[in-house]
C-alpha cells in the first residue's frame, strides 16, 4: 500500500462511522443553542464536555468539512494567549 492508498482509506474511515457520533452530538448542541437564540459554538470544547474520546485528526477534518458543506461557517482561531498554560487554539462553528 502506498501513501495515496493509505490516505484514501484514512479519509474514507473518517467520513464513515467514526465521525457520525461527533456530528450527531454537535447537531444536538446546535439545535439546543439555536432555540436559545445563540449563533455559535466551540465544537471541540463542546465535545470535550461529553467525555467522549476525541476525534482523530482525519475525523476532525471530516467533521469540519461536513458542517461547511451544510452551510455553516467554521473558523479556526489561534491561541489568544500563548504564554498562558490554560489558553489554547479554538474553533467557532456559527450559523444564522
Q: Is pTM beyond 0.85 here?
A: no
Confidence band of 85 (pLDDT split at 50, 70, 90): very high
Query: What is the C-alpha separation between 8 and 15, in angstroms, rounded?
Result: 11
Query: What is the C-alpha separation between 41 and 2, in angstroms, rounded?
Result: 38
Over residues 6-57, the pLDDT tens digits come to: 566 555 655 556 678 899 999 999 999 999 999 999 999 999 888 878 888 8
Structurally, how many domains does the chain consist of? 1
Residue numbers of the domain that contains 22: 3-94
Task: Name the strand (E) or helix (H) holding 91.
Answer: strand 90-94
Amino acid at each position: 500500500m502506498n501513501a495515496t492508498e493509505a490516505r484514501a482509506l484514512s479519509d474514507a474511515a473518517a467520513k464513515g462511522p467514526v465521525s457520525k457520533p461527533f456530528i450527531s452530538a454537535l447537531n444536538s448542541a446546535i439545535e439546543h443553542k439555536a432555540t436559545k437564540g445563540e449563533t455559535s459554538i466551540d465544537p471541540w470544547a463542546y465535545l470535550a464536555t461529553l467525555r467522549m474520546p476525541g476525534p482523530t485528526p482525519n475525523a476532525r477534518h471530516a467533521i469540519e468539512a461536513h458542517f461547511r458543506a451544510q452551510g455553516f461557517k467554521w473558523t479556526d482561531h489561534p491561541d489568544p494567549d500563548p504564554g498562558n498554560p490554560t489558553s489554547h487554539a479554538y474553533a467557532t462553528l456559527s450559523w444564522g
